[in-house]
Every structure is written in structure tokens, then in C-alpha cells.
Chains A and B, each alone.
Chain A
Amino acid sequence: MKVNGSEILLKDSVNLQEFLEKHQYDTTKIAVEKNSEIIPKANYKEVMLSDTDVLEIVSFVGGG
């Protein structure tokens, strides 16, 4: 699977929520696009990831 441009080997079948937690993303501060489609936050647990997926995860830091 490709995440933010880098190849990541998916060992087990995981959903997006599990993947984000495992990689220590704070889900309140991110937006996730899978295969050029935005994934609404409410769907993170239902979205299963596969080898061919391309994920873009944008993390926001405070200030403005």
C-alpha cells in the first residue's frame, strides 16, 4: 500500500481506524484520502485497506 508517497507492507487485513491508531495518528487532527476519495471520519472503521490502495493522510498543526 502507498501512504503519503511511501510503500508500506500490509501484513494483516486492517480497517482504516486500526491502521491510523497503529501508526499513532491523532484522528481529530487529520484528513484521509483513499484512492483520490475523501474518507468521512465516521467511516474510518468500515473502510478496509488493501495492498493496492493509495492513502494520503494530512495532519494539521495549530496556528493561524
Chain B
Amino acid sequence: MMRVVINGEKKETTKYFLYDILKEFKIGGEVHIVNGFQVKEDLKIKENDALIIIEKGKIPDRDKLELMISARHTPNVFEKLKCARVGIAGLGGLGSNLAIALARTGVGNLVLVDYDVVEPSNLNRQSYFINHLGRPKTEALKEQISQINPYLNVEIQNCKVTQKNAAELFGGCQIVCEAFDVSQEKAMLVNTLLSEEKKIIIVAASGMAGYTSANDIKTQKKMSRLYVCGDLENEAKQGNGLMAPRVQVCAGHQANMVLRLLLGIEQP
């Protein structure tokens, strides 16, 4: 007898191969995910392996849906992300893409702060649609996340982040992503949170405008609690605008650093 977990339920089986086990429990479905990895062929199953079997085109019960959304996460990663709390300051090109990436990754609690509404010039790089025009970015983003993973807790604050309210807004977060546009505001957030909060780690961004090589964008650990993603040079200015590819690369760097930190890895 061997114990395995199929679609979240513990089962005992005498079989040792995936297809035999599925036959034994009369489970249909063409997508087979074993311990977070999709497999295309029959394979030997070990004690305590986690199997997720998905029928394409069928919408599963609500209680199974969360499990299936997280099926591609490596076991033990999901649990750590589920209880994490991450703040995002600014929901423009960096913040909106970053929020979507963290939501897809399964970060359980997100604090999203921005004072602005969606306008047409945002659509060249920010994760919003025509039907969001005129709506607060916080609400438009929360709506998108609920369509990606409805099991996440998304808290939104529709206000400008200042030296006075920054610590209060992000106090409960383990990590805060700096995703502002203006350099003075980037510096303000970093200075305020690092001075006033003794534990928060900041993942900031600097230098991602234009279309020079995306390979110049890096993640660097600059201070004991500050990581900076970007090329550190290419600022947004006349003749060097912000464009989706490099902004998304930079947001991806930030999201990956957040993920690494949540899993206990401090190296950039």
C-alpha cells in the first residue's frame, strides 16, 4: 500500500504507475501534473506524490479550482507564497505587470496602492484595457487579478503614497515593491520605509526606458534591505520613452526577486 494525493485528496493505492492508479480510481482527464510538473507519459509514482488531473474545457468545482490553479507550483512553494504579504507602490508599467506576475505565482496577500486613473497613454505598457479607461488603477487591477486567481486577498488603497502615510500603508508587508515613475518619489519611498520600518525589504526599480538591450537590466542587492532592478541609467525622457518590453523585463526581475525572498533566498 502506498499513499498518494490526487486532486487534493489522500488515497491509498496498490498500484505504482500513474495510468494504473488513474484506472484504479476511475479518474479521467488529459492533463496530468505530478509534483508541479506536467507529464505526457506514464511514469512510476512514489509515496506521497501529489497528482493533479485536469479535464480540459471543464470548469471544476470551486474547491478544486484553487488546487488546480496552483498545480504547477512546486510543492512547498505554494504554501509559503499563500501566506505571504507583499506591497506594490505605484500601479503603472512596473506595478501592474508585477502585480499580475505575483498573482499568477500565488502570492496570497497583495497590498496595491495608486492614486491615479487609467488613461489611454497607459496602454502602451501597463496591464489595463480600453474598458478600464477612467477607472482607478487599483480597482481595474483588482478586477483582473480576480479573473486570474479569485482565491487571493487583494487590498487596495486609492491614495498618493507620501512620507507621512508610507509606513502605515505598507507596515504589515514583508516586502514592498517600489514601482513609481518619478525618481524623487522612488527615493522618498525607499528612505521612508527603510528608516521607519525595521524589517521590510524593498525591491525597487531604476532604469528601464527605451529599447536598448534587455540584457542590461539586472537585479542587484544594493543595501542590506534594498534590491534594485534595472539598468540604473536609462531614464524616461523625451526621445527615450517607456515601452512594454523593457518595462515588463524589469517588472519580471522585481517579481522574481520577490519570489526568491519569500522562499528564503537573499541572493539577487
Interface residues of A (CB under 8 A from B): 28-31, 33, 36, 38, 40-41, 56, 58-64
Contact = CB atoms under 8 A, between A and B. Distances in A.
A63 B209 contact: yes
Given A28-B184, A36-B224, 17 more contacts: A28-B183, A29-B186, A30-B187, A33-B222, A36-B223, A38-B191, A38-B195, A40-B191, A40-B195, A61-B206, A61-B230, A61-B235, A62-B237, A63-B208, A63-B235, A64-B95, A64-B180
Nearest to A37: B224
A63 B195 contact: no
B70 interface: no
Contact of A62 (B195, B222, B224, B235): B235
A58 B226 contact: yes
Contacts of A29: 183-184, 186-187
A61 B194 contact: no
Interface residues of B, number: 38
A19 B195 CA distance: 21
A63 B206 CA distance: 7
A38 B232 CA distance: 20
A63 B226 CA distance: 18
A63 B181 contact: yes
Interface of B: 90, 92-95, 179-184, 186-187, 190-191, 194-195, 204-209, 222-226, 228, 230, 232-237, 242, 247
Contacts of B179: 64
A40 B225 CA distance: 14
11 contacts: A28-B187, A33-B222, A33-B223, A33-B224, A38-B191, A41-B191, A60-B183, A61-B207, A62-B236, A63-B247, A64-B90
Residue from the set B90, B179, B206 with the largest chain A CB neighbour count within 10 Å:
B206
A62 B235 CA distance: 5
Contacts of A36: 223-224
B242 A58 contact: no
Residue from the set A38, A56, A60 with the largest chain B CB neighbour count within 10 Å:
A60
Contact of B233 (A30, A31, A40, A61): A61
A62 to B, nearest CB: 4
Contacts of A59: 206, 232
Contacts of A64: 90, 92-95, 179-181, 186, 205, 208, 236, 242, 247
A31 B224 CA distance: 12
A56 B221 CA distance: 11
A31 B242 contact: no
Contacts of A60: 183, 186-187, 190, 204, 206
Contacts of A40: 191, 195
Interchain residue pairs A-B with the least CB separation, the first 4: A63-B236, A61-B235, A38-B194, A60-B186
A5 to B, nearest CB: 11
Contacts of B194: 31, 38
